[in-house]
Structure 1
């Protein structure tokens, strides 16, 4: 328990999908002057150094953001995401922003962030990252329980990211249950559940729970680098998004084929569908 460190995986293909979508969603929220709340149930360290021993040990970022960083003719969603990454890097790719850093990039004085993290090392790094971020509150608490306590937000506008490490198998169902419970308190928020594709039956169970619930307006987006396998290892990644921005679908329709081309092979695939209508 609590052994997972995202520093090994920062900037990999899963982060590319997750953070390009998160960047788009948060940018959409800032189109209105009214403030919003950002709630991150599993925040991680905030910022990651790609030259440290963790990232260098796996080199996963080289097959993720590394392939997009200087790629030409990116679609708008991906081009904006790469621009975000470059805003943290002055000379070449050396830093990768986690989800709190992506949120910090967007938050204005009228916005707020609630960041949860349990890992002793990462919570210290997260607190250090947030020292100058007046809109952020950091909690070393269970993010699932903390989420419900933050709802409904005072502004009645919110983006929630549920991004657990999936160290334990029940994280798949806990993530869905958390959104179902939260949505009952605050129906109009945008909820994002990130997941790894390791064993397909876990994802099928998540989708079944969503479609059998009272959740409405749910999008599923997935990028798989290799076909499903019984062998251990992440073959793909995806997001369930409740109440997505209305233009996100068309943006992803353009971005996903490009992600497949840049990050994958002929065996790679992607999925984009509304699994529950409005």
Structure 2
């Protein structure tokens, strides 16, 4: 499905949750010297101009990273959020929020010379922009990164297990096609057969759709050592059942430190990003 452009939603509340957790996981992986690979199944364009033609049309970032940016000096800000904003600040060093780095760039910034990043993007326009962005990143980045114009669900099977045996798989399709829910579950199941100790991070939307509610429940039933499920809602579901009112991140084999970080960060995010009185959060783990 080629209608989806993430630039319309760059930096919104869902990106805040997804990318704040991603940065924490990458920091945790960097605690050990051993190399790791990151596989991003739906990479997008990589970098977004928030005042551009796409993001500027919807300005969803104003209710997400934009709201956090205006509170960047808040002394009560959780460490997880401060670290996330530091990552965004690398591209906005004049103090003005103009650019938003997506998961490929947040990952690339965290990688050490011996780590690797494998990207998949099927949307023709998104992958062209991503490819151009990677060329501008320089030769060092290009040596660490591989981009395939392919369906990430299919490409994942060929990469696992990675040569270093340490891996992080990020799965975050648009879910505009409801088949993405089943494909995500299947990709995780197959991935665990090849890399049982790898970290799998699945982003999913909170929408009024049965498949969206079923996905985390099905992931919880997988035979894994540990999992963590975090959700953030910023408003009540709309009466007509349309629209994104929040999102979730489901992690298999998560860093043991992450749950404690989220116990502080999620309530703060729910208060800060609330669009009505029904904002909230949940955190489950096993």
Distance 2:153 2:60 in 1: 28
Distance 2:237 2:194 in 1: 36
SS of 2:173's equivalent?
Answer: coil
Match of 1:266 in 2: 277
The answer to whether the aligner puts 1:217 opposite 2:221 as a matched pair is no
Gaps of 5+ in 1: none
SS of 2:26's equivalent?
Answer: helix
**Aligned-residue CA RMSD (Å):** 1.2
Match of 2:16 in 1: 16
Q: Deviations along 1:73-121, whole A, 9 cap, x unmatched? A: 2110000000110011122100000000010110111100000000111
Distance 1:228 1:51 in 2: 28
How is 1:77-226 mapped onto 2 (pairs within 5 angstroms)?
A: 77-91=80-94, 92-131=96-135, 132=138, 133=141, 134-226=143-235
How is 1:55-74 mapped onto 2 (pairs within 5 angstroms)?
A: 55-71=55-71, 72-73=74-75, 74=77
The answer to whether the aligner puts 1:76 opposite 2:73 as a matched pair is no
Superposed displacement of residue 215, structure 1: 3.1
SS of 2:54's equivalent?
Answer: helix
Distance 1:200 1:12 in 2: 20
Superposed displacement of residue 200, structure 1: 4.6
Superposed displacement of residue 138, structure 1: 0.3
SS of 2:248's equivalent?
Answer: strand
Superposed displacement of residue 235, structure 1: 0.9
Gaps of 5+ in 2: none
Match of 1:243 in 2: 253
Distance 2:178 2:221 in 1: 20
Question: TM-score, normalised to structure 1's length?
Answer: 0.96
For the 8 Å contact 1:123–1:140, the answer to whether it is kept is: yes
Distance 2:81 2:257 in 1: 14
SS of 2:100's equivalent?
Answer: strand
Superposed displacement of residue 167, structure 1: 1.6
SS of 1:130's equivalent?
Answer: helix
Q: Deviations along 1:207-230, whole A, 9 cap, x unmatched? A: 332233323311110001123445
Superposed displacement of residue 205, structure 1: 1.6
Q: Deviations along 1:50-83, whole A, 9 cap, x unmatched? A: 0101111101001100011131121100000001
For the 8 Å contact 1:180–1:215, the answer to whether it is kept is: no
Equivalenced residue count is 275
Superposed displacement of residue 19, structure 1: 0.2
Moved more, 258-267 or 57-66: 258-267
Question: TM-score, normalised to structure 2's length?
Answer: 0.93
Q: Deviations along 1:159-215, whole A, 9 cap, x unmatched? A: 110010112001112111101110011001110110111125223321332233323
Distance 2:226 2:236 in 1: 28
Match of 2:30 in 1: 30
How is 1:229-240 mapped onto 2 (pairs within 5 angstroms)?
A: 229=238, 230-240=240-250
SS of 1:152's equivalent?
Answer: coil
The runs of at least 4 consecutive aligned structure 1 residues that moved more than 4 Å come to none
